[in-house]
Amino acid sequence: MRKALLPTLVIIAGSLLLIRLFYLQIIDDTLKLKSENISIKINYTYPERGYIYDRNGELLVANQPSYDIMVVPRDVKKIDTLEFCKLLNITKEDFIKKIEKAKVYSPLLPSVFLSQLNKLEYAAFQEKERRFTGFYIQKRSLRDYQIHNGANIFGFINQVNEKIIESNPYYKSGDLIGKQGVEEYYEEILRGQKGVKYIQKDKFNREIGSYKEGKFDTIAKQGKDITLTIDAELQKYGEEIMVNKWGGIVAIEPKTGEILALVSAPSYDPSILVGRQRSRNYTSLYNDSIAKPLYDRGLLAEYTPGSPFKILTGLIALQEGAINDSTTFFCRRGFRYGRKFMRCHCSGGGVRLHRAIYQSCNSYFSQSYMRLINKFKTPSQGVDVWSKHLQSFGLGDFMGYDLPTGRRGNIPTSKTYNKLYPNGGWKSTNIVSNAIGQGEVLLTPMQLANFMAAVANKGYYYTPHVIKKINGSVIDKKFRTKHVTTIDRKYFKPIIDGMFDVYNYGTAKGLGVKGIDICGKTGTAENYLRVNGKRIKLQDHSIFVAFAPKDNPKIAIAVFVENGYWGARWAGPITTLMIEKYLNRKITKVDFEKRMLTGSLKAQYQKLYPRKVQDSIARAKDSITRVKKIADSLAKIKSIDKNSLDKDKNKNKKKDTVKLKN
């Protein structure tokens, strides 16, 4: 027994040690991670972001060097804080706050202390850098905008947030990422691939050489340059014209679907989102909830399209055989359906398709639409056929263009109305305002421009896009695929003829330019705002769609000016100027130009969104009593809606007896 003790103990002790080692080395996997965190430092080299050019090869966005001051909190020794703060123009409180923030992130790892210094600030700091131990400068490349326009197309560059870091392992704290516009959509192409260098550290956090002789290191890959379809000159002109107006302009080359200009107003100079003032500027842009400069109205604003929609009503009615180009409807300066009366501003009498378009006859298109719907056994079928045709123009859905934001718009179907009239019984008369683009239909300016391009092409379109070239290689196949509409080519001719005469005898008489055959259509859309449960009628929107030249269309355009009274007042002249600018590069309509450039709708917007309303909204956010009041008013609104719905239902019953003339 005495002999056995020591050998037994040796075996037991050896086994115990092996069990412990097995636990440490195989089971507990946090230790390996800890080891990597402690002993390996990763250095990134950031490639330069790709440049952005316009369709004519003009450089729009380049890069400039910028300098971030980094801090490793643990290394910060006693420094002359006063001098430091003075040099960088920050307060002592700022200094303490930033250091604390960096400490919270990690006392050992570098974090950004102050970002995006310009060259002068950099030079001043660099001179004294060695006196500020713990701080060092990291070079980065920032955007350098060559033009002051196109902010909504480019987007901007942002530091990645926690969410992005978590969801995408490529990005590390402090990295930059493109937000909005092509910077976001083509982020991976523009940013390139950052280089990684693993560095072995010792216990003093000193670098003592590369890890594994650089076996895992990678070299940074340069970002690719991209060429946009945007015409910088046209874009600039469009933005200048839209100064002091709210709205959007979308211009497309019909034959290719290339977006020539995408104007959203109000806009901002993209260069204000670069440099040290960036976050302040961004905050003020972001907080402007009334004018919404960060909101791309060309892509996001869903408007009632108004009269331009009549073009589609006409095309579908022709296609479905509800009318032909000699069908005549009688217009009594308006159109009575049921108890409602829709005013019309055409010259009245017997109206055929041609005049119906150039004079924008409400009666004609309403009656065509009703005839179209009534052709089918049930209104549901009719609406669905109509809806299908519209969808073939890319309406009612995201269009698949290469910008990261967008809205579907709204193209109602039978489902929409079954929901609105849960007891059924809706008829063509209930939905007739769709005929003139005034009902449930909503389109974005991009969708307006796209259907105009399809009309210009007599029945096909390409998905609109802003990318023309990525460093020489061909663009995505989806932008080279022809989409054919469900309307036969022959039905476009009468419509286009009518649109041509809009300029000769119609609603846009006097807006034309000598030498350019423009086909267009005015639009004036009613719009309402709900304030405290009341439906307030606001000033109408001014809309215009057009393409030119008539025989060989090179540009299709949609212009939308919020609260611009009527189509020919603002949107019409702007359309003309844009078309002339693009096709001739010279403006002959100097009087138009002067009026549009200097004209302002600011007073109008101030009237619409008075400070009082804004203030009350702001206050409501804060106080609970206000919230209660809002709840009350909401209840009121609901009851009002209910009442009006009930009324509508009653009307439906009455309408059954009404016979319509056609």
Partner 1 sequence: MKNQSVSNNIDWMSIMIYILLVIMGWLNIYSSSLSTAAIDTSIFDFTQIYGKQFLFILISIPIIFVVLFVEPKFYEKFSIIIFAVAILALIGLFPLGKTVAGQRCWYAIGSFTLQPSEFAKAATSLALAKYLSDVQINLKHSNRQIQALIIIFLPVLLILPQPDPGSALIYFSFFFVLFREGLPGWYLGTGLVAIVVFVLTLAFENSWIVIAIATVALIFNYFRSKLIERNILASGIILLLISLFSFSVGFVFNNVFKQHHRDRFNILLGKDVDSKGIGYNTNQSEIAIGSGRWIGKGFLEGTQTKGGFVPAQHTDYIFTTVGEEWGFLGSVFVIGLFVGLIIRVIYLAERQKTKFSRVYGYCVASILFIHFFVNIAMVVGVFPTIGVPLPFFSYGGSGLWGFTILLFVFLKMDANKVNEW
Q: Rule CB under 8 A: which residues touch partner 1?
A: 2-3, 5-7, 9-11, 13-14, 16-18, 20-22, 24-26, 28, 30-32, 34-36, 38-40, 200-203, 208-209, 211-212
With respect to partner 1, which residue has the nearer C-beta, 203 or 611? 203
Q: Enumerate residues 6+ apart whose C-beta is below 8 A from 368.
A: 313, 314, 317, 322, 323, 327, 329, 435
CA 6 to chain CA centroid, nearest Å:
80
Task: Please give the Cα distance from 368 to 319 (Å, whole number).
Answer: 12
Q: Which is nearer to partner 1, 211 or 386 (CB)?
A: 211
* Cross-strand pairs, 537: 528
- Percent composition of the chain: helix, strand, coil (DSSP 3-state, to 5): 45, 20, 35
In the complex with partner 1, which residue's Cβ is closer, 3 or 163?
3
Q: How many CA atoms within 13 Å lie on the side-chain side of 655?
A: 20
CB of 31 to partner 1, least distance (A): 3
Contact present, 136 and 70 (Cβ < 8 Å)? yes
Give the integer Cα–Cα distance in Å for 154 and 145: 10
Q: Could you tell me the smallest distance in angstroms from the CB atom of residue 40 to partner 1?
A: 6
Name the minimum Å distance from CB 9 to partner 1.
7
59: amino acid identity, one letter: L
Taking the CA atoms of residue 371, residue 374, residue 379 and residue 385 in that order, the dihedral angle to the nearest 10 degrees is -60
Nearest CB to partner 1, comparing residues 22 and 341: 22
| 3-state secondary structure (DSSP) of residue 195 | strand
Which residues face 538 on adjacent strands? 527
From start to end of 218-346, where are the E strands? 226-228, 247-253, 258-265, 329-331, 334-337, 340-343
- Residue number, 203 or 537, with CB nearest to partner 1: 203
Nearer to partner 1, 199 or 291 (CB): 199
Cβ nearer to partner 1, comparing 5 with 120: 5
Please identify, using beta-carbon distances, which residue of 26 and 474 lies nearer to partner 1: 26
Distance of CA 77 to the CA centre of its chain: 48
Three-state helix/strand/coil letters over 593-637: HHHHHHCCCHHHHHHHCCHHHHHHHHHHHHCHHHHHHHHHHHHHH
Q: CB 71 → partner 1: shortest distance, Å?
A: 20
Closest contact distance (angstroms) between CB of 3 and partner 1 is 6
Provide, rounded to whole angstroms, the least separation between the CB of residue 43 and partner 1: 15
Compute the residue count for the chain.
662
Q: Which is nearer to partner 1, 25 or 481 (by Cβ)?
A: 25
For residue 281, the minimal CB distance to partner 1 (Å) is 42
Distance separating the N- and C-terminal Cα atoms of the chain: 119
Cβ proximity to partner 1, 135 vs 211, nearer residue: 211
Rounded least distance, CB 19 to partner 1, Å: 10
Shortest spacing between CB 204 and partner 1, in angstroms: 8
Beta-carbon contacts of 314 under 8 Å, excluding residues fewer than 6 positions away, are 323, 353, 356, 357, 365, 368, 494, 495, 498
* Minimum distance of partner 1 from residue 58's CB (angstroms): 51
Complex with partner 1: residue 28 or 188, whichever CB lies closer: 28
Alpha helices in 516-623 (DSSP H): 571-584, 590-598, 602-608, 611-622
CA 581, 583, 587, 588: dihedral to nearest 10 degrees?
A: -150
One-letter amino acid for residue 31 of the chain: L
- Smallest distance, partner 1 to C-beta of residue 624, A: 48
